[in-house]
Amino acid sequence: MDSTPETPPRADAGHALPLSGIRVLDLTHQVAGPSATMALAMMGADVVKVVPPGVTDSYDSMAFYLNNASKRSIALDLKSEDGYRTACELVARADVMVENFAPGVIERLRLDYDVVRGINESIVYAQIKGFAEGTDYAAYACFDPIAQAYSGATSITGEPDAPLPTKPGPDVGDTGTGMVALSGILAALFHRQRTGVGQRVSLSMTDQIATSLRIHFAWPIVYGRPTPRFGNDAPFVERTAPSGLFPCRPFGPDDHVHIHCGNDKHWRSLLGAIGREDLLDDEELATVPKRGVARDRVAEVVTAWTSTVTKQEAMETLGAAGVPAGALRTTMEVMHDPDLRARGIFVPVEHPVHGEVLIPGWPVVMSESAVRVTAPSAPGSDTAEVLREWLAR
């Protein structure tokens, strides 16, 4: 079998962008909304980000760069009559509109769904909010940490004996919701292709996180109590071992490997890989439940071996033996991984302050379609071009 890593097709090599021709009016800010529209832009949609006139400081912001790649930008004062009329003209020519303003803002701007649908019946109108519409907290402000706390993600994160739980590191409320919104937008576009009918797509960060915790609801279902915190262990109803981080040379704070033996075959393969075949017939360690009880002993066996190798050596040795294992890598190590760069998972773009920087690309590889990852346009810099192309001005 060919093990050559897949490289995303290049648009300049004859591969079409899958969303080429789709026009997206982007009224998003922060992370959740921009992450959804950025994905659309990377897949070829003409995403036009609307910013208030005179806004330039965000262009130097790394957060702006990391959430607005591959988009164009126009300056438009949505609060003025001229700006509002132009926005309505753009709505009439858009396939998709996305907004994630604070509750009530889009209504004050007179661009809520009823108004937009009246202008363009076939538009896919997507909204991302913190708390779900129609609930007691729909008008409350919300950011990623708030959504993670309210939806249960924070409660199951951290060490079991720590005084407080810990907010999960990845922005599963922001980018996670953006990616789920993306799936809804694409589904709505497919529905429109079949029926000609547009629709409203709405979701909240809190609802999205709650549903993403899917397997963790086994604890209240099976035991009738909240899911506990497991630290680096697997949060399963049935405990297993080894499952967690183990120290490696040269014993720095990030020199660890995560090992998870989810079944008896993994355990036997691990013993062979680390030279502890003498434990193959140890009845105390023979099954998953028994190893869960003897966790401390298992940890001693595994640590004795991982302490003799680096995290990369541990990962490669165990991985080659069929044991699930992964080196604990920092963001710096991940960003500068030459394989990730070669495959377009990280892409170099020019930043006005930092020069060439690496930003995350699009991780999905399609055999017949390309993606594009370019630096975001400076706020408002494409105004004339977009108005000419969309509105023939």
- Is it the case that residue 12 has pLDDT exceeding 60? no
| Domain 256-327 -> CATH class | alpha beta
Higher-confidence position of 76 and 59: 76
Nearest alpha-carbon partner for 94 in 117, 127, 68: 117
pTM: 0.93
Listed by start position, the domains of the chain span 11-212+341-391, 256-327
Contact 316, 310 (CB under 8 A): no
Please compute the mean of the pLDDT values over residues 378-393 and round it to a whole number.
Answer: 96
pLDDT (0 to 100) of residue 13: 52
155/229 Cα distance (integer angstroms): 7
pLDDT (0 to 100) of residue 3: 45
Give 24's DSSP letter.
E
Nearest alpha-carbon partner for 297 in 279, 319, 322: 279
Higher-confidence position of 152 and 60: 152
Structure tokens given for 31: 């992370």
Higher-confidence position of 95 and 3: 95
Contact 160, 219 (CB under 8 A): no
- Is it the case that residue 165 has pLDDT exceeding 50? yes
Please compute the mean of the pLDDT values over residues 338-345 and round it to a whole number.
Answer: 96
Q: Mind listing the pLDDT tens digit for each residue in 21-38?
A: 999 999 999 999 999 999
Please compute the mean of the pLDDT values over residues 92-97 and round it to a whole number.
Answer: 98
39 CB-contact burial (10 Å; exposed 0-12 / middle 13-18 / buried 19+): buried
Average pLDDT of the chain to the nearest whole number? 94
Residues in the chain: 393
Please compute the mean of the pLDDT values over residues 107-120 and round it to a whole number.
Answer: 98
- Is it the case that residue 303 has pLDDT exceeding 60? yes
pLDDT (0 to 100) of residue 61: 82
**11-212+341-391 is classed in which CATH architecture?**
3-Layer(aba) Sandwich (3.40)
**Residue numbers annotated as active site:** 174
Please compute the mean of the pLDDT values over residues 57-65 and round it to a whole number.
Answer: 78
pLDDT (0 to 100) of residue 6: 57
pLDDT (0 to 100) of residue 58: 72
203/189 Cα distance (integer angstroms): 16
Distances (CA, A) of 338 to 84, 256, 279: 47, 21, 39
- Is it the case that residue 66 has pLDDT exceeding 90? yes
Q: Mind listing the pLDDT tens digit for each residue in 168-212?
A: 999 999 999 999 999 999 999 999 999 999 999 999 999 999 999
